[in-house]
Amino acid sequence: MDSHNSDQTAGSARDTAIIIAAVALLIGGLAAFYTVAATQPAVVKAILILGSVGAALGLLYLTAMGRSLWGYVTGARVELRKVIWPTRQEAVQATLMIAVVVLIMSLLLWGLDSLLFWAVGLLTGRGG
C-alpha cells in the first residue's frame, strides 16, 4: 500500500515537471515568435509558433491528465460520427417553422403589449 502511494507521488511530481516544461516551451515559442516578428518571413513565424504549440501538446500528452483528455477527445469523435445529421430539406423546413413561430409569437406579444398600454392609459387618464 505504501509503495502505491509513493508511485502516485512520483507520477504526480513527474506530471508536474512535464506540465511546467510544456508551459515553458510554449512561452519560449511565443517569445521567439515576437522576437523574430520583424526580421523573418511569415512562414518562419508560423512554423515557430506551430512547432512550439505542437511540442507543448506532445509533452502534455505524456501526463495522466493529457492521456485522459485525449481519451475524451477520441470518445467525442466517436460519438460525433454516430449523430444522424438532418438533410438540407429538413434543416430548411425546421428553420422556416422556427421563423414562423417567432413571427406569430412576436405579433401576439406586440398585440398584448398594445392592449396593456391602452388599458393602463385608460386607467391613469393619460391616453385614450
Dihedral through CA 43, CA 48, CA 49, CA 54, nearest 10? 120
Judge whether residue 37 has pLDDT over 80: no
| Residue 21 burial (CB count, 10 A) | 15
Please tell me the predicted confidence (pLDDT) of residue 38: 76
Cell of 43: 512562414
Q: Are residues 78 and 125 in the same domain?
A: no
Q: Are residues 71 and 96 in the same domain?
A: no
Please tell me the predicted confidence (pLDDT) of residue 119: 94
Q: Are residues 15 and 28 in the same domain?
A: yes
Please tell me the predicted confidence (pLDDT) of residue 35: 86
What is the total count of domains within the chain?
2
pTM recorded for the entire structure? 0.54
Closest CA to 48 of 31, 60, 73, 66: 31
Please tell me the predicted confidence (pLDDT) of residue 1: 47
Name the average pLDDT for the chain.
Answer: 89
CA distance 45 to 117: 62
